[in-house]
Chains A and B, each alone.
Chain A
Amino acid sequence: MAMIEITNLCKGFGSHQVLRGVNLTVEKGESMTVIGGSGSGKSVLIKHIIGLLFPDRGEVKVDGEVLNNLDERGLNDVRKKFGMLFQGAALFDSLTVWENVGFGLKQHTKMSDKEIRDVTTQKLALVGLKGVEDKMPSDLSGGMKKRVGLARAIAMDPQIILYDEPTTGLDPITADAINDLIVDLRKKLGVTSVAITHDMFSAYKISDRIAMLYKGEIQETGTPDEIRGTSNPIVKQFITGSAVGPITAD
């Protein structure tokens, strides 16, 4: 059963057309990674999935609901099904770590601060962090911020987790630890995941299927093995990281 269905999604900003008819389906429990170069429209695509942007044409359906048709309340109900890890973690810098992780619980449940703190401690333990509850985000390293961001994403027990460039800006060892964490969380929580990245090592490791976005269109979709063995010159050039080929650096 499809959890996310994107049909003929088109989006432009002014005269610049970013997405030109994207079609993509993510099954329930599946881990899908969208790869593509900078400026290929990956971030715009992921923002449509959670209703931060709306299509000029086409539609995005999440768990059977078309996001374009929803009002503020309906949209918030759909957003509660999501957890999202931002590229820079996007932690609220005026709140402590536990207030960040427990933010959704504070807003949308009647749990006491003590109960929220307990849940926060559990979620932080799931991402391998202990004793950081009372720290401010500015006191954390880049890798720790990502982990806290991940703990915040899973705090409300979401059905879908979105990862925006989960390993960008991290050293290779921390990046791999985050990859392991993503795989581990999926096994433990059984959630549907959508990640966008240009880190092929990460894409192969965390994905059931990979889709390549280029110039606003999906070029190819397949399992990591199918993508490795692709004959599509655009996908081949991207996954091998070659400067020679149909993709040119703009």
Chain B
Amino acid sequence: MINKLLELIGNKTMALLREMGAVIIFCGQTFRWTFSRPFYLKNLLKQMEQIGVNSVPVVLTTAISTGMVLALQSYTGFKRFGAQSLIGAVVSLSMTRELGPVLTGLMVAGRAGASMAAELGTMRVTEQIDALYTLATNPMKYLVVPRFLASTIMMFFLSALGMYIGILGGYFVGVKVLGTNPTTYMNQSINNTTMSDIWYGLIKSLVFGAVVGLIGCYKGFNTEGGAEGVGKATTGAVVVSCMLILILDYFLSALLW
């Protein structure tokens, strides 16, 4: 009984270590091929459109909703201490340092990360990735690098957009719905938010973008089996990306304090 339990724990641990090793090797190969010719600019632009431009509606909806709810909830709490004037600062700081990049990361992981894993997974099981090798084309360079770069670059811009729209949503609720003085709201927002707060958020977004791109591609690239395998890869890409974003968020927040 104990032997079986130990064997099970050992097997699970070994499988986890093997998977981690494979992910690290995959990341290393992606970084290596990122800086070597040929560069597939057309693929990069196409992916920037698919990952970035096509994610704008979902990011806008999430950000504006979050900014508005944040203003509403902060007002309710702060009113008890007579500190309603601070909601501008709370919304701005929360959106730039935390909620902008994290929520954008989670949304893009759900939309674009899943799409990457499903597309590459289908290419794997239908031998399209093998076909690339036989046509003397490196699939890491042709498929993975453009997705990794596009995800990293576009997460930066999507997060900046999310921050801005979230703050606008907070302003709308704070000033137009709850009746806070607009000058006080803006002064609190501007005086309490520095450029470094914005940069911290944007640096986080770059890391989250890289995570979504790498995990989505890794899961898709290593898909096994048929339709079931593609389904597992897609789910795995979203779950692992979201968990990594949340875990890394703490460490990055501690690092960029």
Give B136-157 as 1s and 0s: 1 = Cβ < 8 Å from A's Cβ atoms: 1110000000000000000000
Asked if B31 is at the interface of the complex by the 8 Å CB criterion, the answer is no
**Closest chain B residue to A82, Cβ basis:** B134
- The total of chain B residues at the interface (CB under 8 A) is 14
A99 and B62 alpha carbons, distance in the complex (Å):
38
User: Are A52 and B134 in contact (CB-based, < 8 A)?
Assistant: yes
User: Are A103 and B130 in contact (CB-based, < 8 A)?
Assistant: no
Contact residue among B38, B123, B135 (Cβ-Cβ distance under 8 Å from A103) = B135
Q: Interface segment, A85-93, A123-131, A170-178, A192-200? A: A85-93
User: Are A104 and B130 in contact (CB-based, < 8 A)?
Assistant: no
A contact residues around B127 at 8 Å (CB): 86-88, 90
A79 and B127 alpha carbons, distance in the complex (Å):
16
Asked if A168 is at the interface of the complex by the 8 Å CB criterion, the answer is no
A contact residues around B138 at 8 Å (CB): 72, 76
A73 and B134 alpha carbons, distance in the complex (Å):
13
B contact residues around A84 at 8 Å (CB): 131, 134
Asked if A215 is at the interface of the complex by the 8 Å CB criterion, the answer is no
**Closest chain A residue to B135, Cβ basis:** A104
User: Are B136 and A108 in contact (CB-based, < 8 A)?
Assistant: yes
Q: Min CB distance, B18 to chain A, in Å?
A: 12
Q: Min CB distance, A214 to chain B, in Å?
A: 24
Asked if B126 is at the interface of the complex by the 8 Å CB criterion, the answer is yes
Asked if B73 is at the interface of the complex by the 8 Å CB criterion, the answer is no
A107 and B131 alpha carbons, distance in the complex (Å):
13
Q: Min CB distance, B139 to chain A, in Å?
A: 11
Asked if B133 is at the interface of the complex by the 8 Å CB criterion, the answer is yes
Q: Min CB distance, A10 to chain B, in Å?
A: 21
* Chain A 67-108 residues near chain B, CB threshold 8 A: 72, 76-77, 79-80, 82-84, 86-88, 90-93, 103-104, 107-108
A92 and B131 alpha carbons, distance in the complex (Å):
9
Asked if A227 is at the interface of the complex by the 8 Å CB criterion, the answer is no
B contact residues around A80 at 8 Å (CB): 136
A contact residues around B38 at 8 Å (CB): 107
User: Are B128 and A90 in contact (CB-based, < 8 A)?
Assistant: yes
A contact residues around B135 at 8 Å (CB): 79, 103-104, 107, 152
B contact residues around A86 at 8 Å (CB): 127, 130-131
A103 and B134 alpha carbons, distance in the complex (Å):
11
User: Are B133 and A90 in contact (CB-based, < 8 A)?
Assistant: no
B contact residues around A103 at 8 Å (CB): 135, 137
A contact residues around B137 at 8 Å (CB): 103-104, 107
A contact residues around B134 at 8 Å (CB): 50, 52, 79, 82-84, 162
Given contact pairs A88-B126, A90-B126, A79 touches B131 in the complex (Cβ within 8 A): no
Give B66-78 as 1s and 0s: 1 = Cβ < 8 Å from A's Cβ atoms: 0000000000000
User: Are B131 and A90 in contact (CB-based, < 8 A)?
Assistant: yes
* Chain A 11-25 residues near chain B, CB threshold 8 A: none
A76 and B135 alpha carbons, distance in the complex (Å):
8
B contact residues around A108 at 8 Å (CB): 136
Q: Min CB distance, B223 to chain A, in Å?
A: 15
A contact residues around B123 at 8 Å (CB): 92
B contact residues around A107 at 8 Å (CB): 38, 135-137
Chain A residues in the interface with B (C-beta under 8 A): 47, 50-52, 72, 76-77, 79-80, 82-84, 86-88, 90-93, 103-104, 107-108, 152, 162
The 8 A-B pairs of least Cβ separation, nearest first, read A76-B136, A90-B127, A90-B131, A79-B136, A84-B134, A104-B135, A86-B127, A80-B136
Given contacts A90-B126, A93-B126, A107-B136, 14 further A-B contacts (CB under 8 A): A52-B130, A77-B136, A82-B134, A83-B134, A90-B127, A90-B130, A92-B123, A92-B128, A103-B135, A103-B137, A107-B135, A108-B136, A152-B135, A162-B134
